[in-house]
Amino acid sequence: MVRFFYSLLSGLVFAILLLLPGSVHAHEPGLSAVALHLADRELVAQLTFSRREIEALVPIDTNDDGVANATELTAARPHLNALAPRLIEIASDGRRLSVQTASVRLDTSDALHVHLMFPRYTGSQLRIKSLILAELARGHRQHVSVYSAAGERLANRMLDANRAGFEWSLAHQAKRPDSWPFHQFLHLGVEHIITGYDHLLFLFALLVAFHSFWRAWRIITSFTIAHSITLASSWKYSSERFCPPTSTISLTLRDEALTVSEK
3-state SS of 37-102 is: EECCCEEEEEEEEEHHHHCCCCCCCCCCCCCCCHHHHHHHHHHHHHHHHHCEEEEECCEECCCCEE
pTM of this prediction? 0.62
Distance CA 153, CA 150 (A): 9
Q: What average pLDDT does the segment 174-181 reach?
A: 52
- pLDDT at residue 124, as a whole number: 84
Measured N-to-C along each axis, helices 182-194 and 213-240 cross at an angle, to the nearest 10 degrees, of 120
pLDDT of residue 31: 86
Q: Which residue has the higher pLDDT, 125 or 181?
A: 125
Q: Where are the domains of the chain?
A: 2-25+196-262, 31-174
User: 180 or 136: whose pLDDT is higher?
Assistant: 136
Q: Which of 90-99, 166-175, 205-214 has the lowest mean pLDDT?
A: 205-214
Q: Which range scores top for mean pLDDT: 14-28, 73-87, 181-195?
A: 73-87
Q: Residue 253 pLDDT more than 90?
A: no
Which of residues 203 and 156 earns the better pLDDT score? 156
Of 50, 60, 57, 81, the residue nearest 238 (C-alpha)? 50
The angle subtended at Cα 133 by Cα 132 and Cα 138, nearest 5°, is 135
pLDDT in tens, 124-144: 889 999 999 999 888 888 999
Distance CA 221, CA 146 (A): 33
Condensed to tens digits (0 to 9), the pLDDT of residues 233-252 reads 554 544 444 344 444 444 44
**pLDDT band at 109, cuts 50/70/90?**
confident
More confident residue, 132 or 193: 132
Q: Rank 3-12, 131-140, 208-217 by mean pLDDT and report only the highest.
A: 131-140
- For residue 262, the model assigns a pLDDT of 46
